[in-house]
Structure 1
Amino acid sequence: MSQGKPQIKDAYTLILEAIDVGTFRPGDRLVESDLADRFGVSRTPIREALQRLETQSLLARDGRSLIVASLDHNQMAELYVVRAELEGLAARLAARHATTEEIRVLRDQVDEDRALVNDPPALSRANRRFHKQIHLASHNRYLVQQLDLVHRSMVLMATTSLAAEGRGEVAMNEHEAIVEAIAKRDEEAAYRALKDHISVAFVTRLKADARSNET
């Protein structure tokens, strides 16, 4: 009797992950029957998952079809502004509230992630885990919820800024500085380090987009 909800959740997660890893890219049309065949689930949970993704603005209407949404320049800029402020606040609160164990996990993540600097897709996944750990270390459930929404929208960006030449190593150094500020309980330094990290990522993305638009 309760089997429907887990199945709907699974369909939603499968489609979201496919968008996240680039299987479905902005502008791609999503067909209910094709998705049901691909993921081996019935069309009802697929239909409900698509409706949920459309409500969250991750999918858009193109006539009668649903396509993966895309972010224009202004939307991307707005998203980065909000992300920088919320991430900075998470770092500030983590400097105030993080446990010794949570700080140890963050340090271990930075050390482990350095081995991935030449593998942008893997580094991108590790980057999300790192930021999620900071969100949790803020010990503020409402902030975590808002950051989850922001990061969900980030999947609409077709590429990761970590793919830019040299960005992986620089990002790891930025992560280390963020963790050290949190470990020292320096709230202002943690806030600034995280905001600056997001700002550099945005500049890197803008430069990459400019190069890709050259004719």
Structure 2
Amino acid sequence: MAVTKLAPTDAYSMILAAIDEGVYRPGNRLVESELAERFGVSRTPIREALQRLETQSLLERDGRSLIVATLDHNQMAELYIVRRELEGLAASLAAKHATAEEVRLLRDMVKMDDQLTNDPAALARANRRFHKQIHLASHNRYLVQQLDLVHRTMALMTSTSLAAQGRSEIAQREHDKIVTAIENRDEQAAGKALRDHISIAFMTRLQQDAEARREDL
């Protein structure tokens, strides 16, 4: 699987992108020398990037090795709870502070993403861009920072809830509802629409995990 090419000095972003794209999956061991060769950088920025990722709990120790962290059921639930509340706040603030241009961009993104409902992987990437735009439209730098951390941790999930049958179309309708509330400058409705959106995504993921466990029996 190809890894997005980034600036040679940005080892952190390159490793994070590789985790997000599934090149390195939970439980995979990361070795400095192998990463340096793959990304064409020296071992020093790789080492610093690994330390940063470990600090953020995206990597964990397995003896003397660093491996991509695995989220257990409780950690996933905690992540979704935090994400739901922070995203809801971002939507409420976007309804209050977003510029007319930012609102039009969100509307355009929904229209363009409607064409991707048959491609869960592409829609998942578009979904991240859509949510990031809402974060930015909140015009609250501290909230954006916290949401960046939450979404980095989401990279540890090995599948997307958008792959569930029918979920893509439903998620797009939910996005439309969120943007409509932002367009109407309805802070309460925007926050509720986004919190409901995250709750449904969490339920879908729980159903996916339950189905996977049944198949393993």
TM range (shorter): over 0.9
Q: What percentage of aligned pairs have identical amino acids?
A: 73
Residue aligning to 2:124: 124
Question: 1:7 offset after TM fit, Å?
Answer: 4.8
Q: TM-score of the superposition, structure 1-length normalised?
A: 0.95
Q: State the AA in 2 paired with 1:156.
A: L
Residue aligning to 2:77: 77
In the aligned structure 1, how far is the partner of 2:38 from the partner of 2:75?
31
Question: 1:135 offset after TM fit, Å?
Answer: 0.6
SS in structure 1 of the partner of residue 93 of structure 2: helix
In the aligned structure 2, how far is the partner of 1:213 from the partner of 1:65?
29
Residue aligning to 1:63: 63
Residue 163, structure 1, aligned to residue 163, structure 2: yes
Question: 1:121 offset after TM fit, Å?
Answer: 1.2
In the aligned structure 2, how far is the partner of 1:119 from the partner of 1:25?
21
In the aligned structure 1, how far is the partner of 2:29 from the partner of 2:118?
32
Question: 1:27 offset after TM fit, Å?
Answer: 0.4
Question: 1:177 offset after TM fit, Å?
Answer: 0.2
In the aligned structure 2, how far is the partner of 1:12 from the partner of 1:187?
36
Residue 204, structure 1, aligned to residue 193, structure 2: no
Residue aligning to 1:3: none
Residue aligning to 2:15: 15
* Structural mapping, 1:1-215, within 5 Å: 7-8=8-9, 10-214=10-214, 215=217
SS in structure 2 of the partner of residue 213 of structure 1: helix
Q: Which runs of 4+ in 1 moved over 3 A?
A: none
Assess if the C-alpha contact under 8 Å between 1:12 and 1:46 holds in 2.
Answer: yes
Count how many residue pairs are aligned between Structure 1 and Structure 2: 209
Question: 1:63 offset after TM fit, Å?
Answer: 0.6
**Unaligned ranges ≥5, structure 1:** 1-5
In the aligned structure 2, how far is the partner of 1:143 from the partner of 1:51?
24
Q: State the AA in 1 paired with 2:199.
A: S
1:147-197 Cα distance to aligned partner (Å, 9 max, x none): 111111111111111111111111000000000000001111101000000
SS in structure 1 of the partner of residue 67 of structure 2: strand
Assess if the C-alpha contact under 8 Å between 1:7 and 1:45 holds in 2.
Answer: no
1:66-87 Cα distance to aligned partner (Å, 9 max, x none): 0000110000000100000000
1:116-154 Cα distance to aligned partner (Å, 9 max, x none): 111111111100110011111111111111111111111
SS in structure 2 of the partner of residue 67 of structure 1: strand
Assess if the C-alpha contact under 8 Å between 2:88 and 2:195 holds in 1.
Answer: yes
Question: 1:207 offset after TM fit, Å?
Answer: 0.3
